[in-house]
A and B are shown apart, each in its own frame.
Chain A
Amino acid sequence: MRHSPTGPKVLVALGVALLLAGSWWGLTKAPGEVYMGEVQRIMYVHVPTAWNAMLAMTFAFAAAVMFLFTNEWKWDARMEAAIEVGVLLAFLLCCQGAIWAKPTWGVWWDWDPRLTTTAVLLFAFAGILALRRFVDDPVKRGTWSAVATVIAYADVPIVYYSVRWWNSLHQMQSSPATVSSAFHLPLRLNAFGVLFLMTGFIMLRARIASLRLAEEIAPPPADALGELA
């Protein structure tokens, strides 16, 4: 009986606790924005989701490079985990963005550079997950999806620079100087909350992927071979 490690569980618990604290502070203690009012509070989940989605994709990229460089299966499992959590965060990011956009911009969605490149990112990485489902051979699956991950990752800096290269509907990156200090604490609490939650999820998901891989790669049991002979 394999028992699961406590590390990721602690991270998930810590992440949930920080998210609860940050969201409580953001919803009750922090004031609403002077022009946007209450709707600005969605910032406390939208911005941490955006940062951590990019971080998850970056870890997937690093894992893909490590897999192709070392051919160690643990990197394939970590890549799969990071892409899956990254896609989940990118999907949530688009939903939260739409909810924020409707009352402030007046539309749920528009094909502005930031939104379009983010959608490309979401679909590219979701496509890699689909690719993995279609390939039965673990070696081919690992290699192809790692190559696709490295190429798809080129979109991450484009997402980041999209608001600088092009004129866009989405505003440029904020900095602590452009955000009132009253909003900093809930933003930071939730940023670390999502970070810990994401890290815990990636660790747990990578473990599942590893166990599946071990089953796939393991040679058939000796008695099965005996029957064939």
Chain B
Amino acid sequence: MTGGYITGGWGFVWAAYGWTAVGLAVRSSETREEDMKRSRLFLILALGAAAIGFAILAGSGISRNLVYYWTPSDLRNAGDKAYGATIRLGGQVAPGSVRMLNGVSALDFDVTDKKSIVHVKSTGAPPQMFREGIGVVVEGTMTRAGYFQSDRLMVSHNNEYRAPKDGQQVNAKELIRTTKGLE
């Protein structure tokens, strides 16, 4: 995914960091004062440890090995591993899929990553930002019945912040109506 991000261009930055540490080591070995030498040795060791720690994290493909949530495709590909375990599923609320059951206490919708779709049953009132097309992360388990039972629904918005257009009013009624399609 973004693993090459670091191993590519940023690798040079971290290599420069490491070589600076080596340079400092060479320089400090030329100074005569004992404790000065020792504290510089500490500096080099610390810089080295920090750089190595960061490089391991950045280069080890941790973005693939350590995941915060599964996409619907990941969930489908996991096969039997998906059943019974508590997992987080992340994706977009599929447009047109939201249905509210039992008044406001239960919610049905599809989560999609544009490749696969997982049907989600969620309990509890959704956050105000919940609407069709928005990102969500749901926590729960995949059932044998073929749907994902969620007991924790989180809305994940993107990095865009927009002012209302001219004449458009922001008020509570308008915000509540953004979950349109629920009725």
Contacts and interface: CB of A to CB of B under 8 A. Distances in A.
B16 interface: no
A201 B173 CA distance: 44
Interface in A21-41: 30-38, 40
Given A151-B50, A153-B50, A171-B156, A104 B129 contact: yes
Contacts, number: 156
Given A34-B164, A143-B42, A169 B156 contact: yes
B153 interface: yes
In this complex, the interface size class of chain B, counting residues with CB under 8 Å from chain A, is: 35 or more
Interface stretch (B32-40, B75-83, B96-104): B32-40
Contact of A161 (B6, B130, B157, B159): B6
B39 A143 contact: yes
B114 interface: no
Contacts of A154: 50-51, 53-54
Contacts of A216: none
Nearest to B164: A34
Interface string B34-76: 0110011011011101110110011000110011110100000
Nearest to A40: B161
Contact of B46 (A40, A68, A104): A68
B40 to A, nearest CB: 6
A179 B50 CA distance: 34
29 contacts: A33-B170, A35-B129, A35-B157, A37-B128, A37-B171, A67-B39, A68-B40, A68-B43, A69-B39, A69-B43, A104-B129, A104-B155, A104-B157, A105-B127, A106-B126, A106-B155, A143-B42, A146-B46, A150-B47, A150-B50, A151-B49, A161-B6, A165-B58, A166-B67, A168-B68, A171-B156, A171-B158, A179-B161, A180-B161
Interface of A: 30-38, 40, 43, 64-65, 67-69, 71, 103-107, 110, 112-113, 139, 143, 146-148, 150-151, 153-154, 157-158, 161, 164-169, 171-175, 178-183
